[in-house]
């Protein structure tokens, strides 16, 4: 299967999977790097498998994936590198088990972050989603496990959700391949800049905190004008995030300003 030229794809969503070429572990020369993030046990590895044709282990318990896995696919003439991450509940915590995911989302600078969320527990999944939207401008929410949501007779208005979050929202049931077409389409749109995200930003209730964040963010922006998520950095520095302190002290932070980066996040173990 040869990837079609880009022009065809927007008009023919029905044939999207026909354009999908699963590249497995072949990831030479990729155009876009896509990270799969999300709470534990939401189906990230299942989505990964559906897109790359690989067989990452999946299992119905939180913590099945503990190391990062990479695979590739090509779509609409572009080559994508996909990174499956361990699940994480939050980017704000300090626990070591979630370090791999946290560091990658923060410092890996993927071109698009696909957030895989459990549609049956939207509220708790939005916690992480909102945090991720604080640090990236390019994200897609994959609302997975829609079949389970149906079983629980939940109705989800993905348009409102998409408007509120400012990013594309794709309902899916990854295990049976439903929604993968649209997910591909949206990833491509966001990666290529056809869709510009306007991510939701958290409003800090505590006004002293708001002031402190503003003050430090201004300083950071003064020093590193190209950084766009200064607010988040300020917040994390005030909280005392050791990894970010290190990045600031060691000057690594300067490397985060470039749009597209070859990334080498601090890796632990495998």
Ligand X SMILES: Nc1nc2c(ncn2[C@@H]2O[C@H](COP(=O)(O)OP(=O)(O)OP(=O)(O)O)[C@@H](O)[C@H]2O)c(=O)[nH]1
- Which CB atom, from 78 or from 243, has the smaller least distance to other proteins? 243
174 binds, among Mg ion, ligand X, other proteins, none (CB under 5 to 8 A by kind): ligand X
Cα gap 106→11, rounded to integer Å: 35
Cα 115 to the center of its chain, rounded Å = 5
If one asks whether residue 153 binds other proteins (CB under 8 A), the answer comes out as yes
The first and second tokens of residue 235, run together, are 């917040």
User: Is residue 61 a contact point for other proteins (CB under 8 A)?
Assistant: yes
For residue 74, state whether it binds Mg ion (rule: CB under 5 A).
no
User: Does position 174 bind ligand X by CB under 6 A?
Assistant: yes
Q: Which of residues 169-188 bind Mg ion (CB under 5 A)?
A: none
Q: Which 76-95 residues touch other proteins, going by CB under 8 A?
A: 86, 89-90, 92-95
Alpha-carbon span 131 to 188, nearest angstrom:
23
Q: Cα–Cα distance between 134 and 114 in angstroms, integer?
A: 14
Contact flags string 63-82 toward ligand X, x per CB under 6 A: xxx-----------------
Q: In which element (H, E) is residue 192 found? A: helix 180-192
In degrees to the nearest 10, what's the CA dihedral of 80, 89, 141, 230? Answer: -80
Scanning 59-67, 115-123, 221-229, 232-240 for contacts with Mg ion by CB under 5 A, the matching segment is 59-67
CB of 146 within 8 A of CB of 178? Answer: yes
Identify residues 221-260 at the interface with ligand X (CB under 6 A): none
74, β-bridge pairs: 21, 79
Which residues here bind ligand X, judged by CB under 6 A?
Answer: 38, 40-46, 58-60, 62-65, 86-87, 144-145, 147-148, 173-175
């Amino acid at each position: 299967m040869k990837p079609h030229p880009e022009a065809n794809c927007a008009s023919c969503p029905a044939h999207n999977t026909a354009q999908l070429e699963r590249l497995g572990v072949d990831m030479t020369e990729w155009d876009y790097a896509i990270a799969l993030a999300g709470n534990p046990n939401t189906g990230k590895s299942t989505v990964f498998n559906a897109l790359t044709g690989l067989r990452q282990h999946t299992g119905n318990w939180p913590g099945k994936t503990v190391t990062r896995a990479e695979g590739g696919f090509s779509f609409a003439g572009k080559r994508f590198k996909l990174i499956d991450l361990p699940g994480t509940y939050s980017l704000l915590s300090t626990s070591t088990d979630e370090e791999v995911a946290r560091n990658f989302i923060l410092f890996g600078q993927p071109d698009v972050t696909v957030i895989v969320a459990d549609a049956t527990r939207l509220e708790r999944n939005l916690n992480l989603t909102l945090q991720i939207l604080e640090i990236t401008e390019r994200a897609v929410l994959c609302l997975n496990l829609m079949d389970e949501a149906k079983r629980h007779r939940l109705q989800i208005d993905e348009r409102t959700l998409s408007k509120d979050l400012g990013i594309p929202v794709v309902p899916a049931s990854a295990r049976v391949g439903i929604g993968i077409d649209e997910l591909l389409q949206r990833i491509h749109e966001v990666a290529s800049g056809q869709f510009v995200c306007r991510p939701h930003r958290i409003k800090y209730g505590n006004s002293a905190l708001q002031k402190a964040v503003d003050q430090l963010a201004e300083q950071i922006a003064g020093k590193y004008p190209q950084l766009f998520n200064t607010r988040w950095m300020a917040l994390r520095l005030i909280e005392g995030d050791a990894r970010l302190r290190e990045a600031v002290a060691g000057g690594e932070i300067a490397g985060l300003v470039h749009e597209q980066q070859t990334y080498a996040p601090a890796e632990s173990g495998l």
